[in-house]
Structure 1
Amino acid sequence: MVDITPADAVPPAEVAEMELYHPHSWWTKYVFSQDAKVIAIQYSATATAIGFVALMLSWLMRLQLGFPGTFDFITPEAYYQFITMHGMIMVIYLLTALFLGGFGNYLIPLMVGARDMVFPYVNMLSYWIYLLAVLVLVSSFFAPGGPTGAGWTLYPP
C-alpha cells in the first residue's frame, strides 16, 4: 500500500501560470499585467482621472453661465468645445470605461467563478489602446484651434 500525503495529491503549479498571477516586480505587475483585477484597477484609475478633466470643463461652463462675459478665455467657440468634450468624455471615456472595463473586469470573473477573463492578453491590450485614445483626446486640447466643437450630435445620446 502506498501512502499519499496532501502534498502529493495536489499537482504543482506551472511556472508560467504562477508568473501570470504573481508577477515579481512593480513594472510587470502594473504595466504588463494580464490579471483582470489589475486591469480593472487601471481602467478605473484612468477613467477617474479623465473624469476630473470633464469635471473641470463643467465648472468652466457653469462659470460662463453664471457670470456671462466675465471670463475672456471662454469664447463662444471655446464654450461649444467644452460642451462637446465634456459630453464625449463623460459618455465614452468615463462611463463606458468605468462600467465595462473597471467593474466588468473586476466583477464578471467573480460572478461566473472564473479565475480570469478568457483572453488576458487581449484584455491587457484593450486597456493600452484605451489609454492611447485618452492621451490623443487630451492632446487635442493643445492643438491649434482647440478640440472639436461638434456639439452633442457627435455621440448618440
Structure 2
Amino acid sequence: MSLRSKISPCLWFDGQAEPAARFYTSVFKNSKIENISYYSDVGKEHHGQESGTVMAVGFQIEGQTFTALNGGPIFKISEAISFQIDCETQEEVDYYWDKLNEGGDPSCQACGWLKDQFGVSWQVVPAALLEMMLDPDAAKVRRVTATMMEMKKLDIAALKAAYDG
C-alpha cells in the first residue's frame, strides 16, 4: 500500500469509475491504479449498487492521489472544478490536449480548458503563460489575455508573439 496525499480529490461517477481511472492512468506517464474496492450487499438500501460491482478505484497521477467512486446518478461532475496540467513545451500541450479530448465535449473548449469523455474539466496550460500573465507591464498582459481568449488549445508561440508586441 502506498502513501496517500493528505488531501485528495474524489470524483463521483455513475458506473464509470474504473474506465475513467484506467483512461487517466493511460494518459499520464507517471501514474498507476493503486486499488479497486467492490460493493457488497451490506448497505444496499443506501447505495443501491449490485454486490460485486466496482465501488471505488484509488489511483495516482504525478504523485497526486485520486479516488474514482461509482456513487450512482445522484451527483454530476461539473466545470466548477478542473485540474490544471502545467506544460513546459508545445509538444506537451498538444499531447495532453489531444489525449484528454478523445471522446470529450468540443463545445466546452476555451482558453486551454476542455471537458473529457467522463465530464471532467482540465486546463492544459503552458508554464510560460503564468510568467507572461504576471508581468508588471499591463500592456503585455492585456495583449496576452486578448490572444488567449481567442484560443481553444493554447499556442505558446502565438502567446509569446502577443507578449512581445
* TM-score over 0.5 (shorter chain): no
Q: TM-score, normalised by structure 2?
A: 0.22
Structure of larger gyration radius: 1
Q: TM-score, normalised by structure 1?
A: 0.23
**Between structures 1 and 2, the one with greater helix share:** 1
**Between structures 1 and 2, the one with greater strand share:** 2
